[in-house]
Each structure stands twice: as structure tokens, then as C-alpha cells.
Amino acid sequence: MLRDDIIEYSLDAHHSEEKGVELRKTIWKVTFLLTAITAVEVALGSMIKQSSDYWQIIKWIFIVLTIVKAGYIVLSFMHLGDERKGLKYVILLPYFVFAAYLIFILLNEGTAIFGALSEVAN
Amino acid sequence: MAGHASKEIDSKTLWGGKISPFSTSYGKLMMWFFLVSDALTFTGLLISYGFTRHDYLGSWPIGEETFHSLPLLEGNYPLIYVALMTFILIVSSVTMVLAVEAGHRMDRKGVTKWMIATIIGGFFFVGSQAWEWSHFIHGSDFGKVELADGSLAIVKGNFGEIESFEVTVAGHHHMVGDKVTEDLKHEYQHAIADGHLHNGIITLHDGSQAKVNKMANSDMTLIVKEFGGDHAIGSEIEGAEAIAMYEEAVNSGEANRVIYGANMKQNEYGPQHYGQFFFFITGFHGFHVFSGVMINILILLGVIKGTYHARGHYEMVEKTGLYWHFVDLVWVFVFTFFYLV
């Protein structure tokens, strides 16, 4: 049965065949990029041990690469990049504010607790 | 029908308040809001993982030391399996975005094809995670050992095969002189964990005692994870010394000197919290993947029935696609923070 009580909008829900060809090209490009980044991460991870002097740099490379990957997934695959500017901010801003606060407070506290525990142990 | 090309929104599709915020549909906006809240949940979990890890520092396990196995293969393949899982999930995200793209062209066959591919990818991922859990719970051949000075160390090496148990004192099932040849490794590990192996004599669960015929372990390395007195965190003990220290613990006849695998109370990889975070974070994510596959199946049925085609647009595919990409997004972070760093 066809339901007509569902009010659903479909703005930007269609595109032409030519646009489709173009979009698919972008999709495959992003796929290649995400796969390459993952391969690089695994290669770095198995080559460089955590005890190595370079580990700090590698760790930051991992974090940056992860954020790049996440950016491509959200902006390209989830099409947030194509949405209105207002929507982008409504989604991203509250998230980043909360996440940044949590990271700051908990990693600080974690290190402090480690310090306190080591003091007790000694 | 198709052809909402202009940015004018017809009155039928406006929200109750007679506008459409951000020119999006109600369903899509609510899906985004749900995803933001879910993203915050996962952020909280991963950050609390980081918090706990900062509490322990050196004794926390390292991904490549913990996850280095492949199904059906012996040997050391650090992180290859999780990398494969990541790849599967990325590919299924790609097939999903291709389904959405086909939907925009009202290509019902295309949507069906790519949705099926996405669902298959999802099942592969859930299956891989089941294997990973099973492997994590059963643990390695050697387990984690408490050395004589109280240090805790994880063990790498080649496990010498157990040939048989030769019964020397009869129990309920076995007579003197019997040779037990079945379920050896399982029985052996249980006996060690419970302190039922003493100087090469194993007490089996039926009460009989037996001599263990076992090939020697070789190429052993002990990596110290927790300081006990003599060995610093991260120091590696190799060769004959490692084997002697390990054998001492195994043959001590004391319970809990060697721990195998993982449960909710203890695990062979590191602190108790490590196992709990592993189960909760990957479990919570796996639950999302599973429900995502179920939702995808429901939407696929709608596509095959032609419900969305009759509606004039495939926005339902787009909305479920948002959820599916989100699952991939979370895994990207779990992969980095749980396995890589």
C-alpha cells in the first residue's frame, strides 16, 4: 500500500546520468585514498615499535591520518560537504566543542591519577 | 515524482512550521542529530579508554603484540587481520554510497545490486569480529606468566607439541599406564591455570595423575609488562633464561601463575580494564554494525518491492546510508586508538 501520510522531502534527491558518472569517479577516488591511508598506517605500525624514538611522531601521524580519513567519510560519503552551510555547523560545532573538552579534561586527569598512584606505590 | 530541480520547496513537503530548516527533510535532519549523539557516546568511550590507558602507561598492551593472528594460518602477522576488517568496512561503505548515487538516478536495479553488496560486506565484518572475539577469549598457547619475582610478562615463541599424558596414579576414568591423547592442549592449559601441574606431573580433572610427554618450547621471548622487582617494564628476556623462567612458573603447582585468554575478570594481554574496554567498545560497535545490516536488509526489501520507486525518490536509502557510513566512521577511530597507538 502506498502511504501518503509520510511527509518526506526530496530536495537534491535526484541528479542526471552525466552528474552520476562524475560522482562515481569521485567515489572511486576517495575509496582509493582511504585504502591507501589504511595500508600506510598498518605498514608504519608494523615497522616502527612503540619503544622506538620515532614513536611520538608516528603516533601523531596516525591521529592526523585518522582525522583525514574521517573527514573524507563525513564530507564525501555522507555528503555533509554538499549540505547547506548552516547544517554543517549545526552538526560539527557542538560535536567538536564537547569532544575537545572531554579530551582535554580526561587526558589531563588520567596523567594526574597515574602520578598520584605512582606516588602511593613509592 | 522526479524533478525537484529548483530550490523552491512545494507546500506539501514543508514541515509543520511551514519551513524546512536547512532545506533538508525532517527524516534526514533527525538522522544527523541521532548520529551526533551517537558519535558523542563513542567519543566518550574512546576517551575514557585513553584516560584509563594514561593511568597504567607501561603495562598497557600494545596492539601489534596482542593482535597478530590470521584464521587458519600459523605465524606472526601483526595487525593484518584488523586491517582487513577495516578494508571490508570501507568497501561496504563505498558500495552504500554507490547505492545512494544509483537512487538519485532512480536506477532501481543499481540500488538493489549495491545494497546487496553492502549487506554482504556487513556480514563479513560481523563474522570477522566474531572470530576476533573468539581468538581474544581463547588466548595464545603460552598465556601471560607471573615470574618468580612477581613481574608479569607476555610470552612469544614456538609451542612444543604435547604428545600424550601417561597416567601414573589412577583416577575415576584413567588406569595406570593409560595414555591420554585427546584434548591435550586444553587440559594442559587448564591444569596450569589451576595449579595442577607440578614438576611435569599433571593432575587431570578426574583426579588421576599423569606424566606429561611434551616437546620443548623454543625461540621464547618474555616481554615484561608489570614490574615485580627484578625486571623493568618493557624489558625482554630471551633464550634459555626465558624458557627456564617460564617453565618454573608452569611447573610451580600454584594457581594463577599463568593466565590464558580473556574473560571479564582477567586477561593475558594486560590490566583487567583492557579486556573490559575491548569487549565493550568493539562489542558496542559490532552491535551497531549488526543493527545496520538488519536495517539495510529492511530497506533492501523496500527497494525490491518498489516502495521507494513509487514514492518518487530513494531518500530512505540515503538515510540508512548515513547510519552505515557512521558505523564505518566509528571503526576508523576504534582502529586507530585501540589497535594502532
Domain edges within chain A: 18-82, 84-122
What's the pLDDT score for residue B2? 39
SS (HEC) of B69-105: CECCECCCCCCHHHHHHHHHHHHHHHHHHHHHHHHHC
Question: Which positions 206-235 of B are in contact with A (Cβ < 8 Å)?
Answer: 234
Question: Which positions 7-26 of A are in contact with B (Cβ < 8 Å)?
Answer: 7-17, 20, 23-24
Q: If we measure between CA atoms, which residue out of B123, B139, B136 comes closest to residue B282?
A: B136
Q: Using 50, 70 and 90 to split pLDDT, how confident is the model at B13?
A: low
Measured in angstroms, the CA of B45 and the nearest CA of chain A are apart by: 11
Q: Using 50, 70 and 90 to split pLDDT, how confident is the model at A8?
A: low
Q: Using 50, 70 and 90 to split pLDDT, how confident is the model at B12?
A: low
B152, B274 in Cβ contact below 8 A?
A: no
Interface contact flag, A13 B315, Cβ < 8 Å: yes
What's the pLDDT score for residue B18? 66
Tell me the three cell numbers of residue A62.
596516525
What's the pLDDT score for residue B25? 81
Residues 6+ apart with CB under 8 A from A79: B100
Q: Would you call A93 an interface residue with chain B, using a CB distance cutoff of 8 Å?
A: no
What's the pLDDT score for residue B3? 38
pLDDT in tens, B80-103: 888 889 999 999 999 999 999 999
What's the pLDDT score for residue A73? 94
- Compute the distance between CA of residue B334 and CA of residue B45 in angstroms, rounded to an integer: 10
Q: Is the pLDDT of residue B147 over 70?
A: yes
Q: Helix, strand, or coil here: B25?
A: coil
Average pLDDT, stretch A16-40? Answer: 92
B198, B159 in Cβ contact below 8 A?
A: no
What's the pLDDT score for residue B101? 93
What's the pLDDT score for residue B324? 97
Number of H helices, E strands in chain B: 10, 10
Q: Is the pLDDT of residue B206 over 50?
A: yes
End-to-end alpha carbon distance in chain A? 73
What's the pLDDT score for residue B56? 79
pLDDT in tens, B232-287: 888 888 888 889 899 889 888 888 899 898 988 888 888 889 999 999 999 999 99
Q: Is the pLDDT of residue A1 over 60?
A: no
Q: What is the ipTM of this complex?
A: 0.87
Residues 6+ apart with CB under 8 A from B6: none
pLDDT in tens, B26-40: 888 899 999 999 999
DSSP symbols for B168-196: EE--SSPPTT-EE-SSHHHHHHHHHHHT-
Measured in angstroms, the CA of A20 and the nearest CA of chain B are apart by: 7
What's the pLDDT score for residue A6? 52
Q: Is the pLDDT of residue B217 over 60?
A: yes
Interface contact flag, A27 B101, Cβ < 8 Å: yes
Task: Mutate one of A37, A47, A73, A80 to test the B interface: name it (highest B CB count within 10 A).
Answer: A73
Average pLDDT, stretch B302-314? Answer: 91
Nearest 5 degrees, angle CA B237-CA B238-CA B239? 145
pLDDT in tens, B103-141: 999 999 999 999 999 999 999 999 999 999 998 999 888
Lowest mean pLDDT among A8-17, A46-55, B183-192, B206-215: A8-17
Nearest 5 degrees, angle CA B227-CA B282-CA A77? 130
What's the pLDDT score for residue B171? 82
- Compute the distance between CA of residue B173 and CA of residue B262 in angstroms, rounded to an integer: 30
Measured in angstroms, the CA of B325 and the nearest CA of chain A are apart by: 7
The DSSP call for residue B328 is H
What's the pLDDT score for residue B5? 38
Q: What is the mean pLDDT of chain B?
A: 87
Interface contact flag, A45 B78, Cβ < 8 Å: yes
Q: Using 50, 70 and 90 to split pLDDT, how confident is the model at A4?
A: low
- Compute the distance between CA of residue A18 and CA of residue B286 in angstroms, rounded to an integer: 38
- Compute the distance between CA of residue A98 and CA of residue B47 in angstroms, rounded to an integer: 12
What's the pLDDT score for residue B1? 36
Strands (E), chain B: 144-146, 152-158, 162-169, 179-180, 197-198, 201-203, 209-214, 218-226, 236-238, 258-259
What's the pLDDT score for residue A24? 93
Q: Would you call B48 an interface residue with chain A, using a CB distance cutoff of 8 Å?
A: yes
What's the pLDDT score for residue B4? 41
Domains and CATH numbers, chain B: 31-139+274-340 (1.20.120.80), 144-262 (no CATH)
Question: Which positions 98-137 of B are in contact with A (Cβ < 8 Å)?
Answer: 98, 100-106
